[in-house]
Amino acid sequence: MNTIIIAHWEVQVEHLDNVLTLISELQKQTLQEKGNVNYLVFQSVKEPNKFTLIEEYVSEDAFSQHLQSEHYQQIVVQKIQPFLAVRNGDLYHQL
């Protein structure tokens, strides 16, 4: 059963352009992961600094490996997280 993560990010407005570039690179690299099925990023029309990420992995283990990956650590942990006003998410299994 695949594992789905739905995450919500609110970026500090003054860092939006930088984070947009980083999200694009994160998506590109994540889609190349062996355990990744899909990685979709949505930007709010009304509030462009708000994002919803829908990630799909073959298992919870594959998601855990994603969190430990070099690109996740470098892009998200080091470069994006410091500029997030809000960051939350939940793990789902499709019924």
SS3 content of the chain, % helix, strand, coil (to 5): 45, 35, 20
Tell me how far apart the alpha carbons of residues 26 and 76 are, in angstroms, rounded to a whole number: 8
| Global pTM exceeds 0.85 | yes
Tell me how far apart the alpha carbons of residues 88 and 1 are, in angstroms, rounded to a whole number: 23
> Residue 9: CA atoms inside 13 Å, Cβ hemisphere, count?
24
Q: Which residues contact 34 (CB under 8 A, 6 or more apart)?
A: 62
Mean pLDDT across 12-28: 97
User: pLDDT tens digit string along 60-69?
Assistant: 999 999 999 9
Grade residue 95 by pLDDT with cuts at 50, 70 and 90: confident
Mean pLDDT across 29-38: 98
Question: Looking at the DSSP assignment, which residues form a beta bridge with residue 5?
Answer: 55, 91
β-strands 3-11, 36-43 pairing? unpaired
